């Protein structure tokens, strides 16, 4: 590796570090009680762990390296665009435009070949047309739902989210594979039993 390429990679990693300071609405329970907001970097690790656990539980043949690559890069645009809450219609309306502008900055900070590779991974995740992109989407939505269940539905409650509100996000995730349907169905059961998510 030539020194200019090494320097560019290290500068990109300094930028990417900021994903650890992008806060999501979901909460992480703390050992001593209480909770704090989850950040997008730890969310990405959580998806990777779910993908490792589930890739052989689904019917589709999943290229795990490809799925985990999609997962590692899928939220990088949030460094510039911030996290957009699933249940924020105003934020959702401008999300695509903001994230496309962010992609030019974030992936443009890499050496050209790697910038193209990572941008293609992000676009593939967003398009959701390949088995790996659909699998990663299932992991992503299941993780967000799980995080709410782990924190007693506090973020749902704070934003007045109902079970009906979650359907447009969770139905496609349940449709990825019967394994996701079973897992997400079980999470709905826990949310209902805990009175976390009104009808």
Residues that bind a second copy (CB under 8 A): 1-3, 6-7, 9-10, 12-14, 16-21, 28-31, 38-39, 41-42, 44-46, 48-54, 57, 63-69, 71-73, 110, 114, 118, 121, 146-147, 150, 178-179, 182-183, 185-187, 190
Query: In which residue are the tokens 């999470």 written?
Result: 187
Tokens found for residue 143:
């993780």
Residue among 102 and 160 whose Cβ is closer to a second copy: 102
Q: Least separation, in Å, of the C-beta of 89 and a second copy? A: 26
What's the rounded Cα separation, in Å, for the pair 186 and 13? 38
Overall residue count recorded for the chain in this entry:
199
Residue among 66 and 98 whose Cβ is closer to a second copy: 66
Q: Least separation, in Å, of the C-beta of 43 and a second copy? A: 8
What's the rounded Cα separation, in Å, for the pair 150 and 117? 35
Query: In which residue are the tokens 């059961």 written?
Result: 189
Q: Least separation, in Å, of the C-beta of 64 and a second copy? A: 3
Do residues 68 and 51 make contact, with C-beta atoms less than 8 angstroms apart? yes
Residue among 67 and 133 whose Cβ is closer to a second copy: 67
Nearest Cα residue to 37 out of 17, 55, 58, 22? 22
Q: Least separation, in Å, of the C-beta of 85 and a second copy? A: 19
Residue among 52 and 96 whose Cβ is closer to a second copy: 52
- Beta carbons within 10 angstroms of residue 46's beta carbon: 21
Triad 13, 39, 175: Cα angle to 5°: 105
Residue among 122 and 156 whose Cβ is closer to a second copy: 122
Q: Least separation, in Å, of the C-beta of 176 and a second copy? A: 13
């Amino acid at each position: 590796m030539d020194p200019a390429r090494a320097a560019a990679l290290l500068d990109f990693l300094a930028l990417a570090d900021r994903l650890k300071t992008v806060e999501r609405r979901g909460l992480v329970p703390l050992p001593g009680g209480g909770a704090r907001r989850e950040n997008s970097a730890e969310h990405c690790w959580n998806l990777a762990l779910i993908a490792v656990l589930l890739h052989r539980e689904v019917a589709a043949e999943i290229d795990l390296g490809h799925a985990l690559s999609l997962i590692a890069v899928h939220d990088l645009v949030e460094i510039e665009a911030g996290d957009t809450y699933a249940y924020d219609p105003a934020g959702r309306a401008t999300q695509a435009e903001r994230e496309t502008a962010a992609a030019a900055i974030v992936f443009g900070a890499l050496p050209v070949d790697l910038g193209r590779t990572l941008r293609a991974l992000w676009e593939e995740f967003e398009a959701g047309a390949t088995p790996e992109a659909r699998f990663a989407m299932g992991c992503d939505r299941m993780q967000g739902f799980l995080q709410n269940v782990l924190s007693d539905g506090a973020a749902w409650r704070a934003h007045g989210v109902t079970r009906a509100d979650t359907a447009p996000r969770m139905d496609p995730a349940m449709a990825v594979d019967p394994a996701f349907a079973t897992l997400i169905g079980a999470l709905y059961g826990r949310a209902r039993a805990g009175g976390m998510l009104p009808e």
